A = this chain, B = another copy of it.
Amino acid sequence: MLNKQRIQKAQDRMKQQGIDAYLILTHDDYIYFFGEDRYQPRAVIPAEGPPIIVTFSGEEAEVRESIGASDVRIFGSVGQQIKDVVQVMRGMIGNKDKLKVGVQMWFGTPAFLLNMFQKANPIVDVVDIASVMDELRMVKDKSEIALMQHAAVIAETGMEAAVNTLRPGITENEVAAEVEYAMRKAGGHGVATPVFVNSGIRSGWLHGTASDKEIEDGDLVVLDLVPKYKGYCANLCRTFVIGKPNPEQEELFITYKNAQTAAIDSLRTGVKMRDVDTAAKKVVTEAGYGEYYVAGISHSIGLSFEETPAPTIHPGDSGIQIREGMTVTAGHPVLSVPGIGGVRLEDTFHISSGVAKPLTDFPLELELEKYEIEI
């Protein structure tokens, strides 16, 4: 069902900013306003009046029922979709010279699609809708926290499956299979980023995936999971060693653990994102690994895996202050040291009563055998 309150808030901000309409092309904002998802989410929220859903004829009945929208435009073919949006834009122009239409400028909006839209709509000036949406989405309401809590439990289930599967000789891809399967069975709706299983030399990667590499005794293994539940993400990352860790691995792990703790402690309302980095970097530098520190220890998370503030994508976001009701991670970048490998630990938090309350919960243990005895 469409969320009238959220739509009203967006419209108020659009009017303040002189934006005539928001053209939704991405899953996150479609889910945010309409409570469900489509493979091709297409809708227009005008600054005034009811939202317009643009959908395929075969989906009409269901869209009307599930969203409860009064204005549903139907297209019969893919080519017609853009024409329909153009028509909606023409219908809105009135006696204006140009329409100012907001579009989300993030990973989900392809450059070529935006170019096509602009060419087909010479009456439209495209602007970044972040100035409207960031304010709304940065602070989560109760229903959003509940969905993220659900996603967090799914992530924990996935990590448990990883721990139960990891052994020398198994490939990263086989571990990913078990993790994905466990998260789906726990009710997850896919993943926001591919399951990372980075072992051995690959533990030092900035990002990762799962490859056909066999996991070997003594490997550092970084597992990074971002399952989705009804569109909402939770991020959980752990690093393990199969067998006995060597002293260098142990030192790197303890350094990361301490840096993450420092980041978590500093995640308080009023603190700027960059101060969280300062706190974590101090720990890493004091441990002698300062030159390997990659900035961006915390980012916001919700309907997107990384959303504003996300300083590693928009450096300017490092000036944004932590607010009550935000959901953020602590522990994002890998600490990668040549000759040793990489360690990365990450958890998801809800800023509540001024401090960071964990949404994800999983033991922080480097040595896997020890952990296996515990469960």
Contact = CB atoms under 8 A, between A and B. Distances in A.
A334 B39 CA distance: 14
Interface stretch (A74-82, A93-101, A260-268, A362-370): A74-82
A207 interface: yes
A292 B77 CA distance: 9
The oligomer's copy count stands at 2
B56 A205 contact: yes
Interface string A166-196: 0000000110110011001101011000100
A46 to B, nearest CB: 22
Interface string A228-241: 00000000000000
Interface in A186-234: 187, 189-190, 194, 201-202, 204-210, 212
Given A108-B110, A173-B187, A206 B56 contact: yes
Interface stretch (A10-18, A58-66, A136-144): A58-66
Contact of A206 (B58, B109, B202, B204): B58
B184 A173 contact: yes
A143 B65 CA distance: 49
Contacts of A334: 58
A338 interface: yes
A37 interface: yes
Given A56-B206, A78-B313, A103-B111, 11 more contacts: A39-B206, A58-B336, A58-B338, A58-B342, A61-B201, A61-B338, A79-B315, A105-B112, A110-B111, A111-B111, A177-B181
